[in-house]
Chain A
């Protein structure tokens, strides 16, 4: 794991995204907000899946050269006002928005999904769970699309087991927005049988219309080792690592 302060790495002026094609360890940023608490798990999972995770502080106004970005879980800025509402104004988020606009791959997990929704990078909003209870358990997910960049490792209809742990994961979109999402095939993951939070139409994950930005409430970074119950999360994070690799190897 590398702690990077953007542009302040003595002796490493060029800040390469890949040390060399043969090593091919793509750099993937993990953005750290005050209150993020899944940073280490996200970084370890990325490392395990062949990436070089780079932690980016929320106050940094640019990203190092990376092929992908993870916005991790947690309670950024204490979830004040609405979950994700404050984090979206951080300098790092402006850089993430620029990266996404250039087609960069961005994965928002749990609080990261909330931040992306509040930032307008993903449609809809995550509301307090219908039960008002914090939920923490494995859930089954159904893959609705496998032709988006970050679900390329899955098959349509595949059942994934990945844990959730959140108090505000109830996805909501009004009728007009929901119709747009369905028309654009932007709902990519649904809870399969056990909806833990009252989410509209069992929605667990969505993508933007271009498909390069994805958010989901379940935590793939907690499911990369069968020893912990499931390794299905590796299908999603592994795809992010692959897309990051391709992006960094592609001629500019």
Chain B
């Protein structure tokens, strides 16, 4: 079962990469603000139903994929929709 995890810097956490990207975009002439850089993790999870898959991916996020001090995460399961 496919799953996607979106990891983002929490609001208020300084994101120097986001700042650098924002400055570059402005330099190119785009009117942008608040660029933030996160991370996408695509997974193929062994699970019989979406609930089980979600529970598994929740554990992956808590144990490794995100650091709760500085990052939030969202889990997307296409087959859940």
Contact = CB atoms under 8 A, between A and B. Distances in A.
Given A85-B64, A172-B13, A132 B69 contact: no
A124 interface: yes
Interface in A112-163: 118, 124-125, 127-132
A128 B67 contact: no
A129 B70 CA distance: 14
Contact of A132 (B13, B20, B64): B20
Contact of B16 (A81, A82, A124, A130): A130
B17 interface: yes
B70 A81 contact: no
Interface residues of A, number: 18
B65 A132 contact: no
A177 interface: yes
Contact of B69 (A89, A131, A172, A198): A172
A195 to B, nearest CB: 13
Contacts, number: 31
A173 interface: yes
A125 B67 contact: yes
B14 interface: yes
Given A81-B64, A118-B67, A125-B67, A198 B14 contact: yes
Interface string B1-43: 0000000000001101100100000000000000000000000
Interface residues of B, number: 10
A82 B14 contact: no
B65 A130 contact: no
A131 B64 contact: no
B69 A174 contact: yes
A125 B65 CA distance: 14
Contacts of B67: 82, 85, 118, 125
Contacts of A132: 16-17, 20
B71 to A, nearest CB: 9
A105 B67 CA distance: 26
A129 B69 CA distance: 17
Nearest to B14: A130
B70 A127 contact: yes
A198 B14 CA distance: 10
Interface of A: 81-82, 85, 89, 118, 124-125, 127-132, 172-174, 177, 198
- The 5 tightest CB contacts between A and B, nearest first, are A132-B16, A125-B69, A130-B16, A125-B67, A125-B70
28 contacts: A81-B64, A81-B65, A82-B67, A85-B64, A85-B67, A118-B67, A124-B69, A125-B67, A125-B69, A125-B70, A127-B13, A127-B14, A127-B70, A128-B16, A128-B17, A129-B16, A130-B14, A130-B16, A131-B16, A132-B16, A132-B17, A132-B20, A172-B13, A172-B69, A173-B69, A174-B69, A177-B69, A198-B14
